Amino acid sequence: AGLLTARCPSKWLAPLPPVICNGILVGGLISYQEVGFTAAFGGTFLFNAASVALGELLACYVLGLPLLTLMDKAKVFGKTAPALHS
């Protein structure tokens, strides 16, 4: 997620890679812990992946994006983050 975030063309897209990666990976791990690879895995995975992704989406866009904007205004990144100025 960090590598994909670093390659995002704009700050508005930067929160998406952690949302997608964590939704898939953490949702899959939780589902496997709950039901294993049984017939119930598909439905359980969809529910868990969606709930993890929703929580990550709120955390990244509600908390992370304003923090990223403040860090950009404070020049924390210097010239290493051209995507922040898009």
Q: How many helices (H) and strands (E) does the chain have?
A: 4, 0
Q: What is the pLDDT of residues 3-28, one digit of tens each?
A: 898 888 887 888 899 899 999 999 99
Distance CA 20, CA 50 (A): 10
Among 2-11, 19-28, 45-54, 76-85, which stretch is predicted with the lowest mean pLDDT?
76-85
What is the arithmetic mean of pLDDT over 55-73? 86
Closest CA to 48 of 34, 64, 63: 34
Q: What is the pLDDT of residue 30?
A: 95
pLDDT band at 40 (very low <50, low <70, confident <90, very high): very high
Which tops the pLDDT comparison, 72 or 23?
23
- Rounded Cα gap, residues 74 and 57, in angstroms: 24
Cβ neighbourhood burial of 8 (10 Å; 0-12, 13-18, 19+): middle
**pTM for this entry:** 0.72
What spatial distance separates the first Cα and last Cα of the chain, rounded to whole Å? 20
d(CA 25, CA 45): 10
